[in-house]
Amino acid sequence: MALRKLVAGNWKMNGTRAKLAELDGIVSAADAAPGVDVAICPPFTLIDAAVAAAPSLPIGAQDCHHAVQGAHTGCVSAEMIVDLGARYVILGHSERRTDQHETDRDARGKALAAFAAGLTAIICVGETGAQRDAGRAGIVVAGQLEGSIPATGTAANLVIAYEPVWAIGSGRTPSLAEVKEMHGLIRAKLEAILGIEGAGVRILYGGSVNPGNAAELLAVPDVDGALVGGASLTAAQFVPIIEAAAAL
- Near ligand 13P by CB under 6 A: residue from 164, 174, 198, 230: 230
Q: Which of 126, 129, 144 is nearest to 182 (CA)?
A: 126
Nearer Cβ to ligand 13P, position 79 or 162?
Answer: 162
Q: What is the DSSP letter of 18?
A: G
Euclidean distance between CA atoms 243 and 181, whole angstroms: 25
Nearer Cβ to ligand 13P, position 157 or 232?
Answer: 232
Residues with catalytic function: 93, 163
- What is the helix (H) or strand (E) element at residue 39, kind and residue range? strand 37-41
Q: Are 172 and 215 in contact (CB under 8 A)?
A: no
Q: Are 166 and 128 in contact (CB under 8 A)?
A: yes
Euclidean distance between CA atoms 81 and 74, whole angstroms: 14
Measured from the CB of residue 122, what is the shortest distance to ligand 13P in angstroms?
9
Taking CB under 6 A as the criterion, which residues in 67-96 touch ligand 13P?
Answer: 93
b/e sequence 12-33, b meaning 16+ C-beta within 10 Å: beebeeebbebbeebbebbeeb
- Near ligand 13P by CB under 6 A: residue from 54, 227, 235, 242: 227
Which among 49-57, 63-71, 97-105, 224-232 is the span making contact with ligand 13P, rule CB under 6 A?
Answer: 224-232
Taking CB under 6 A as the criterion, which residues in 7-36 touch ligand 13P?
Answer: 10
Which among 28-36, 42-50, 72-80, 162-170 is the span making contact with ligand 13P, rule CB under 6 A?
Answer: 162-170
Q: Which amino acid is at 47?
A: I
- Near ligand 13P by CB under 6 A: residue from 50, 158, 160, 168: 168
Taking CB under 6 A as the criterion, which residues in 197-216 touch ligand 13P?
Answer: 206-209
Q: Which positions touch ligand 13P (CB under 6 A)?
A: 10, 93, 163, 168-169, 206-209, 227-231
